[in-house]
């Protein structure tokens, strides 16, 4: 009885989901060309002076039959830099920063509400923002940290604690500490506000309260919580390179701001002493110095944290916390294995990025990292000497890269069966940077009532038998079917319910014709895509998004092409990708304040009318 019910659930979960999706996609007029993709490379971006092309790069929200509705954009000559909005520290950035600042670790941000996501990333400048719950959490965190700091003060504030600390000495220390906390020299008026708080609290409540409240105020101030690039001319001046940046419109990002861009990108924390010293000297302005810093930082173990955090977000690894598997269908499964699978993926990433170091390994490495609990699930003996996590190289026919990692297959699945849909959409969205067109506006709904006893394949057949359904589903189903060789736990299988598994699939609609076509099994797909430009470009784009805290836009087109070129020319070494991002114009330059202001005013006349008079512009 239980088995029968389970079979019905299989049909319910998989088949009904697909039928419902089919209903949603009826008469959608999907066709291969309707997939849009977001990587802006030079072949898509118009040459200077031209308007946007009318092929490729179609707006995602347009029906395939409509012409572009947006007015043509004229792209100015030469390279450009995009926006650099202020960025709220994410949870792990907050914890890393407070650890570095105070010299002790209180993981206070574990209690913060989770960040709002944008394309899976937590650090989007506009999407990750404050709310009332977070503000209260900041209060709590700052109070815990300040209490601990009284016992264990950072060097700059050591003059503030103890039995009878000197108020004058403490206030000097506050000035130093604020500069560290702000990651830049503080202005006198900024420091003065904290010093006043200290003095007032000292006389009303005593030395300890004065110290703690001052620390709390620093930790809740915008200059601490945000990476804010001040609206003042950058002191780093370089003549533009030939044919390069338009010096009338763009300038180098300021030295301390560059230090923060580097440290938060590569280490997820505030700049270290060496970066701050370089900033003070005004050194972070040439490609040579930047390359040297990048190399130094990548050699530091904190850089591994960067790749771990990136992949946690990009691959959605937090969802492992929600994964359960049906113990009746999979008696071998135990609670806690999803956490092991997460470690397995993290170890794979670390191996591919830091030991193999190239994109090809990401796509084709047969390495799978196992724990003593996982080993028997995937048919391997426990390695007693391993210290809990070790590498196994699986047969090349069974495993190739990220596409076939057991953890990913288990994540992209239901409790009791795999999901071709989840897997296909993941490949499209995350690896190919493609997304589906929306259903059209004239759908008629016929509520589906699938036979609960139908097998999955019978249900699938209804999709492709119906012409209207088939058009869209050809973009998903055949791609997902190629993964049928991996069950809900990500185990390799060649039989299912006594029958040979059919792993034939097809990729259509990718931007490279050479990548399209039938394939048999995800391993073949992985090897084919390893030679693909599309995924390599998509990965460049994802890293750019992560590094910049925003997706790329048309003004980053030149930077994106150069980044990608560097990646390719260095045999897709990841270190080359990271360096290329740092050396790109988008990372190093920004619009000059007066240009940004003029453009903003032009675009937002109503807002400007409300602004206070513009005697506030630039620094002191």
Partner 1 sequence: MIKKRFGRRHFLRGMGGVAFALPLLSTGIVARDARAETTTEGVTFPKRFVFMIHPNGVIPQAWFPTRGASGEDSDFQLGETHAPLEPLKDKLLLLENVNLEVGNWDRAVGPGEPHQKGMGGILTGRTLNDGQFVGGDGSRAGWGSGQSIDHYLAERVGKNTPLPTLHVGVRADSHIGSEVRSRVSYTASNQPAPPLNDPVDVFNLMFTDAMTDPGAMDEIKRRRGSVLDTVGSQFDSVYKRAGYEDRLTLERHLKMVRDLESRLSAEGGGIGGDCEKPDTPPSLEVDSEDTMPQIATEHLDLVALALACDMTRFVTLQFSNSKNGLRYPWVDSFGDGHGLSHAGPSNETAAKELRARDRWHAQQAAYLLQKLDEIPEGDGTLLDNTVFVWCSEIAVGNTHSHRNLPILMAGSAGGYFKTGRFVSYGSERSTNDLLVNILNAFGQDVETYGDPQYCNGPLSGLT
- Touching partner 1, residues 323-342 (CB under 8 A): 324, 326, 328
- Enclosing H/E stretch for 491: none
- Residue 418: phi and psi, rounded to 5, are -75, 175
In 3D space, the residue among 603, 572, 536, 120 whose CA is nearest the CA of residue 314 turns out to be: 120
Residue 402 CB, nearest approach to partner 1 (Å): 19
Long-range CB pairs of 43-48, under 8 A, 24+ apart, other chains included: 45/75, 45/554, 45/557, 45/558, 45/561, 46/75, 48/75, 48/76, 48/77, 48/78
Question: How is residue 494 annotated by DSSP?
Answer: S
Say whether residue 237 binds partner 1 (CB under 8 A). no
For partner 1, which is the closer residue by CB, 118 or 563?
118
Say whether residue 292 binds partner 1 (CB under 8 A). no
In 3D space, the residue among 521, 493, 574 whose CA is nearest the CA of residue 400 turns out to be: 521
DSSP codes of every residue in 210-278: HHHHHHHHHHTSHHHHEE---SS--S---PPPTT---TTTEEEPPHHHHHHHHHHHHTSS---HHHHHH
Longest dimension (CA), the chain: 84
**CB 207, CB 165: distance < 8 Å:** yes
Give CA separation, 171 vs 142, 174, 182, in Å. 19, 5, 16
Say whether residue 388 binds partner 1 (CB under 8 A). no
Interface positions, 590-609, toward partner 1 (CB under 8 A): 593, 596-597, 600-601, 604, 607-608
Residue 456 CB, nearest approach to partner 1 (Å): 12
Q: Which of 93, 95, 115, 558 binds partner 1 (CB under 8 A)?
A: 115
For partner 1, which is the closer residue by CB, 258 or 476?
476
For partner 1, which is the closer residue by CB, 299 or 614?
614
Q: Which of 322, 385, 497, 513 binds partner 1 (CB under 8 A)?
A: 322
Residue 298 CB, nearest approach to partner 1 (Å): 28
Say whether residue 221 binds partner 1 (CB under 8 A). yes
What CA–CA distance (Å, rounded) separates 576 from 564?
A: 10
- Residue 313: phi and psi, rounded to 5, are -80, -50
Q: Which of 89, 201, 297, 403 binds partner 1 (CB under 8 A)?
A: 201
Say whether residue 231 binds partner 1 (CB under 8 A). yes
Give CA separation, 347 vs 352, 362, 388, 476, 523, in Å. 9, 12, 12, 29, 20
Interface positions, 542-571, toward partner 1 (CB under 8 A): 551
Say whether residue 209 binds partner 1 (CB under 8 A). yes
Say whether residue 27 binds partner 1 (CB under 8 A). no
What CA–CA distance (Å, rounded) separates 80 from 90?
A: 28
- Segment interacting with partner 1 (CB under 8 A) among 272-280, 317-325, 508-516, 577-585: 317-325
For partner 1, which is the closer residue by CB, 26 or 290?
26
Say whether residue 83 binds partner 1 (CB under 8 A). yes
Residue 301 CB, nearest approach to partner 1 (Å): 27
From residue 150 to residue 189, the character string flagging contacts with partner 1 as x (rule: CB under 8 A) and all else as - is -------------------------------------x-x
Residue with tokens 């869209």, as numbered in its chain: 472
Say whether residue 5 binds partner 1 (CB under 8 A). yes
Residue 175 CB, nearest approach to partner 1 (Å): 15
Say whether residue 461 binds partner 1 (CB under 8 A). no
Say whether residue 194 binds partner 1 (CB under 8 A). yes
Say whether residue 520 binds partner 1 (CB under 8 A). no
Say whether residue 250 binds partner 1 (CB under 8 A). no
Say whether residue 117 binds partner 1 (CB under 8 A). yes
Question: How is residue 417 annotated by DSSP?
Answer: S
Q: Which of 230, 289, 389, 501 binds partner 1 (CB under 8 A)?
A: 230
**How many residues are given for the chain?**
620
In 3D space, the residue among 296, 354, 342, 391 whose CA is nearest the CA of residue 582 turns out to be: 296
Give me 461's structure tokens.
């057949």
Give the total of residues touching partner 1 (CB under 8 A). Answer: 109
Question: How is residue 67 annotated by DSSP?
Answer: P
Q: Which of 50, 51, 105, 140 binds partner 1 (CB under 8 A)?
A: 140
Give CA separation, 113 vs 98, 127, 135, 496, in Å. 18, 14, 10, 42
Residue 260 CB, nearest approach to partner 1 (Å): 15
- Enclosing H/E stretch for 369: strand 367-370
Residue 499 CB, nearest approach to partner 1 (Å): 23
- Segment interacting with partner 1 (CB under 8 A) among 9-17, 153-161, 233-241, 495-503: 9-17
In 3D space, the residue among 143, 615, 530, 545 whose CA is nearest the CA of residue 310 turns out to be: 545
Residue 212 CB, nearest approach to partner 1 (Å): 8
For partner 1, which is the closer residue by CB, 127 or 286?
127
- Residue 237: phi and psi, rounded to 5, are -115, 135
Interface positions, 400-459, toward partner 1 (CB under 8 A): 414-416, 425, 428-429, 435-445, 447-452
- Segment interacting with partner 1 (CB under 8 A) among 137-145, 281-289, 459-467, 523-531: 137-145
Q: Is 383 left (phi over 0), alpha (psi -120 to 50) or beta?
A: beta
What CA–CA distance (Å, rounded) separates 66 from 61?
A: 10
Q: Which of 66, 200, 458, 494 binds partner 1 (CB under 8 A)?
A: 200
For partner 1, which is the closer residue by CB, 384 or 442?
442
DSSP codes of every residue in 92-111: HHHHHHHHHHHSS---GGGG
In 3D space, the residue among 394, 407, 400 whose CA is nearest the CA of residue 315 turns out to be: 407
Say whether residue 39 binds partner 1 (CB under 8 A). no
- Segment interacting with partner 1 (CB under 8 A) among 131-139, 258-266, 339-347, 553-561: 131-139
- Segment interacting with partner 1 (CB under 8 A) among 124-132, 247-255, 367-375, 552-560: 124-132
- Enclosing H/E stretch for 506: strand 504-507
For partner 1, which is the closer residue by CB, 165 or 439?
439
What CA–CA distance (Å, rounded) separates 116 from 299?
A: 31
Residue 130 CB, nearest approach to partner 1 (Å): 5
Say whether residue 133 binds partner 1 (CB under 8 A). yes
Say whether residue 113 binds partner 1 (CB under 8 A). yes
């Amino acid at each position: 009885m239980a088995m029968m019910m389970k079979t019905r659930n299989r049909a319910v979960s998989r088949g009904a989901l697909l039928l419902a999706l089919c209903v949603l996609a009826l008469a959608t007029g999907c066709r291969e060309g309707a997939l849009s993709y977001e990587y802006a490379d030079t072949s898509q971006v118009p040459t200077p002076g031209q308007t946007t092309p009318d092929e490729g790069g179609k707006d995602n929200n347009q029906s395939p039959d409509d012409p572009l509705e947006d007015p043509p954009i004229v792209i100015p000559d030469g390279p450009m830099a995009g926006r650099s909005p202020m960025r709220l520290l994410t949870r792990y950035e907050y914890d890393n920063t407070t650890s570095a600042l105070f010299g002790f670790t209180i993981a206070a941000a574990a209690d913060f509400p989770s960040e709002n996501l944008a394309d899976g990333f937590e650090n989007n400048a506009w999407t990750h923002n404050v709310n009332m719950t977070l503000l209260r959490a900041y209060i709590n965190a700052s109070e815990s940290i300040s209490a601990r700091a009284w016992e264990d003060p950072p060097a700059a504030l050591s003059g503030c604690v103890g039995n009878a600390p000197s108020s004058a000495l403490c206030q000097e220390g506050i000035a130093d500490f604020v500069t560290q906390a702000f990651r830049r020299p503080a202005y006198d008026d900024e420091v003065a506000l904290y010093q006043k708080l200290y003095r007032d609290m000292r006389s009303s409540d005593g030395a300890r309260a004065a110290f703690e409240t001052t620390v709390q105020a620093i930790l809740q101030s915008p200059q601490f919580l945000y990476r804010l690039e001040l609206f003042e001319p950058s002191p780093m001046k370089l003549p533009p390179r030939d044919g390069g940046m338009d010096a009338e419109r763009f300038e180098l990002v300021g030295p301390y701001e560059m230090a923060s861009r580097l440290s938060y990108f590569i280490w997820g924390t505030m700049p270290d002493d060496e970066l701050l010293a370089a900033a003070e000297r005004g050194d972070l302005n040439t490609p040579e110095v930047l390359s040297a810093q990048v190399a130094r930082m990548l050699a530091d173990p904190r850089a591994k944290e960067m790749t771990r955090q990136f992949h946690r977000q990009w691959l959605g690894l937090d969802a492992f916390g929600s994964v359960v598997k049906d113990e009746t269908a999979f008696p071998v499964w135990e609670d806690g294995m999803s956490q092991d699978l997460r470690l397995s993926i993290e170890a794979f990433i670390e191996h591919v990025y830091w030991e193999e170091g190239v994109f090809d390994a990401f796509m084709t490495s047969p390495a799978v990292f196992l724990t003593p609990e996982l080993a028997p699930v995937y048919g391997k003996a426990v390695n007693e000497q391993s210290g809990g996590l070790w590498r196994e190289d699986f047969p090349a026919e069974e495993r190739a890269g990220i596409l076939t990692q057991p953890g990913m297959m288990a994540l992209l699945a239901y409790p009791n069966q795999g999901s071709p849909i989840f897997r296909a959409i993941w490949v499209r969205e995350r690896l190919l940077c493609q997304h589906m067109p929306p259903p059209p506006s004239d759908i008629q709904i016929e509520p589906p009532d699938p036979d609960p006893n139908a097998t999955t394949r019978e249900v699938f057949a209804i999709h492709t038998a119906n012409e209207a359904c088939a058009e869209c589903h050809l973009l998903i189903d055949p791609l997902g079917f190629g993964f049928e060789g991996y069950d809900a736990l990500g185990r390799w299988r060649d039989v299912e319910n006594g029958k040979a598994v059919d792993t034939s699939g097809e990729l259509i609609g990718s931007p490279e014709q050479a990548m399209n076509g039938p394939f048999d099994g995800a391993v073949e797909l992985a090897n084919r895509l390893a030679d693909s430009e599309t995924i390599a470009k998509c990965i460049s784009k994802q890293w750019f998004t992560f590094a910049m805290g925003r997706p790329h836009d048309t003004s980053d087109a030149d930077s994106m092409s150069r980044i990608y070129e560097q990646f390719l020319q260095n045999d897709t070494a990841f270190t080359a990708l990271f360096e290329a991002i740092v050396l790109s114009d988008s990372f190093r330059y920004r619009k000059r304040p007066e240009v940004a202001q003029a453009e903003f005013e032009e675009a937002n006349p109503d807002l400007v009318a409300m602004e206070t008079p513009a005697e506030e512009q630039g620094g002191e």
